[in-house]
Structure 1
Amino acid sequence: MDGRVAMVTGGGAGIGRAAALMLAREGADIVVCDLNAGTGKAVAEEVEALGRRAIAIPTDSSDPDQVARLVEEAIRRLGKIDILVNNAGIVTTDTILALTPETWDRVVAVHLKSMFVCSQAVIRDMSGRDWGRIVNITSRAAYRGRAGVGPYSAAKGGMLAYSRVLAAETAQWGITVNNVAPGTTLTPMVERAFPTTDGQAQEARSSGVITAPVRLAEADEIAGAVLYLCGPLSGHTTGTTIHVNGGSFMP
């Protein structure tokens, strides 16, 4: 990753933080795109402690104007953007009769619209240099229905479909577009939902994890798949998905 610059949305916590730090350890400079100024700044400081350059500007990754400003500043200060990790996400547990249009729109915007907005912004830079990597954090939920995660599942499914279109449209510029689809992963959001070890183990069992010991994924395990898709050995891989879910879904 030496000489590469990576932008990670939702980079202030969870899988985004893990991916940002793993890419930095391998030599990349990092653009932390996160709505939370405090967590974004903290991750940027962790990156700098690893000897890499970093910037963090509070940004709503679904807002085209905010993303354009972030990308412009990143290119001004770091020279370019080679890698985009579309990781920003939120979830709701409302089922169909409780779900409001406002909640639906926000969840879909944070995942699917964000992927479109951020990808468009960085492809304008990548296409002029004939190299780029886009990795989208989708989900097992795009493949398996589960009560209470309607807009989340729909948005993740949309990301999956749009990634294939982007792969076809951007291959001419040496850009690859791939997905990582985690099962339930120990992030701050998941830990709030399952605060105890017993609760986490029960979630792993009920979701169908078969690897031993039965447990939830660690954020670094997802980041490891991201690292491969951003690296030099994945140049012949595009339009595909790596599943990291403990065997709970086998396509």
Structure 2
Amino acid sequence: MKKFVKWCLNHVPRPAMQRLAGWSVPLMGLCYKGKGRECPLCGAEYRRFLPYGYVVPRPDALCPRCLALERHRLLWLWLTRETDLAERRPHLLHIAPEACLGRRLKRIYASEPSRYVTADLESPLADLHFDIQRIPLPDASFDAVICNHILEHVADDRAALRELHRILRPGGWGIVLSPVDRARAETFEDDSITDPAERTRLFGQYDHRRVFGRDYPDRLRSAGFEAEEIDYAARFTPEERERYALANDRIYLVKKP
């Protein structure tokens, strides 16, 4: 299964993967039926979750029913337990909307659908299509933003962050998650590296342009945000972390003063 998942991730175009995953992954999940793991987004239970990863597939990562990964499960637990998003329904822009989060957020915003807007460069799941480095939306037009695992892909992550800052209203907040190598003090990037195999070796994925280090919160602050790094997984018991299959991901919360 690990080899099959890895081959698909590295050879099937992302838009095609997004269309196919909705029915193909649940079929694979039939092999994992049982007890031991619970997805907090969809409530499904399995013996364990599916492996997932471009280079070395991580075991126990992908929920077969809703396609939630470790970071999605952690983020959903944080959103539902630590924020009032469900009650207040802030005007929310969701960049690169993941199916697992998008479905749940659409339910929350069912009575006010215009307050939940999704956007992506090419995803068929999105309402709007644009480059995050040049967002064609007015200043201060959203109360909140969710932007997960995008900044490692774009040519100029600092320009993208400035755009996110621009479209947020004063007092607005956002979740801006990226893969962070905590063993690395500073972010490593080299635009001269264009070979997909070399990018995979150095950056962890063929379409990544950088590896963020422990300076990631400072890069968020450089755009004008207040930034907080939250080790939310550490607040769960070992039994809860095993049940939800949580990794050592962290929540990166930004606020616009």
Taking structure 1 as the reference length, the TM-score comes to: 0.41
Task: Report which of the two has the higher share of strand.
Answer: 2
